[in-house]
Amino acid sequence: MLFALAVAVFFASQIGAATRSIDTMNWQKENYEKQIKQLEDGEKQLTELVEKRKELVGQSQKVQEQYTALLKDVLELSKTDADAAEVIKKWNIQQAAPSDSAKKEEK
């Protein structure tokens, strides 16, 4: 009789442990699902931000190209115009040496 009682207690404790394990696994599963959802949302937001920034980057590149063209014109004009030469001198405007990749493209 004592043995049967000990076996019953043992099985009851095993069932309790299994129940707690199931509860823990369900909790972990819920947390993983939340984390996956957060990662998916973060990826979506990042993609949207990249798309929004592409337009700004394009505008910045266009403005930079316009400034570069303007300064090149001022540098060229400074060869014949005293006012342009004064601006070049005052603001220390210089044309940068071409990069290695630009030199390769010219060849």
Write the pLDDT tens digit of every residue in 31-72.
999 999 999 999 999 999 999 899 899 999 999 999 999 999
- Reported pTM: 0.49
Radius of gyration of the chain (CA): 36
Count the alpha carbons within 13 Å of 64 in the hemisphere toward its beta carbon: 6
Number of C-beta neighbours around residue 56 at 10 A: 9
Sequence-separated (6 or more) residues with CB below 8 Å from residue 14: none
Domain map of the chain by residue range?
12-95
